[in-house]
Amino acid sequence: MKKLLIYLPAFLLLLLLLVAWEAIVDLFNINPQVLPAPSAIVSVFADHAVILVPHILTTLLETLLGLLFAVIFGVFVAILLRLSSLVRKALYPLLIISQTIPIIALAPLLLIWFGFTILPKVIIVTMVCFFPITVAFADGMEKVSPQIITLLQSMKATRLQILFIAELPGALPSFFSGLRIASAYSVTGAIVGEYVGGYQGLGIYMQNAAHSYAVNLVFVVIIITSLLSIFLFAAVVLLEKILIPWNRGK
């Protein structure tokens, strides 16, 4: 109960903003095609809930697959960066450069190469989530106490034994920090991929709603996207508490 009370100020502020939004729309008689009231958005969501379900599931599937591959590749690359200084010098600058390329510019190319399948969207989500996971995990391994590594070396531990006994477990808090950041952006990556091209998903639904000037439906998709991101973020936090309970106090 005490933990829930922590979020009470945020909830009250959100409620206040919604009430103010509703009042402004009614007071100034704003056109619903410009800015619909929150009550109208909720009503439209209830009417289109059944239609939205397959789009939500498609986007969620793309997001989860992209996150999974981002974790696999991110952990693998982070380990390579830790094990080899030569690999770090060669690869780390390229990782940074990769983040300067706008995803929206790559999306059409992926669409041309792989077609209107789920693969381009998964690749985009992976690219969005890969960098924070890799950097956070690699930095976490570097911050493991030198005294622990020295102790293991004095016990004749091999490089791989040091990695698996000390560095990987010690870097888990940093890994989950990167995963939390990635989870917050993952759904947006899927939406971007769908917006460029696809048959189904929240991005496609949002694009069709925008072309039809159904602003209330656009707001519905925005809210669903936010809720999915919050759900994934909360799931990562829960997984962190389960896998590394010793870090819960921090």
> Once rounded to an integer, what is the mean pLDDT over residues 45-61?
91
Distance CA 50, CA 43 (A): 13
Does pTM surpass 0.85? yes
Task: Report the interhelical angle of 172-196 vs 38-83 (nearest 10°).
Answer: 130
C-alpha 136/C-alpha 171 separation (Å) is 8
Q: What tokens does 64 get?
A: 């989860």
Give the up-direction half-sphere exposure of residue 152: CA atoms within 13 A in the CB hemisphere: 16
Longest dimension (CA), the chain: 76
Decide: 124 and 110 in contact? Cβ < 8 Å: yes
Instruction: Report the pLDDT value the prediction gives residue 48, as an integer from 0 to 100.
Output: 87
Give Cα separations from 139 to 88, 135, 233, 237 (angstroms): 12, 6, 21, 20
Other C-beta atoms within 10 Å of 10: how many?
9
Helix-strand-coil percent breakdown of the chain, rounded to 5? 85, 0, 15
Quote the pLDDT of residue 233. 94
**So what's the pLDDT on residue 49?**
87
Supply the mean pLDDT for the chain.
Answer: 88
Protein fold of 53-86+101-244: MetI-like fold (1.10.3720)
Half-sphere exposure of 138 (CA within 13 A, CB side): 23
More confident residue, 195 or 154: 154
**Whole-angstrom Cα distance, residue 163 to residue 150?**
13
pLDDT at 2 over 60: yes
Domain boundary assignment for the chain:
53-86+101-244
| Sign (positive or negative) of CA dihedral 202, 207, 209, 210 | positive
Instruction: For the chain, give the percent of residues with pLDDT over 70.
Output: 97
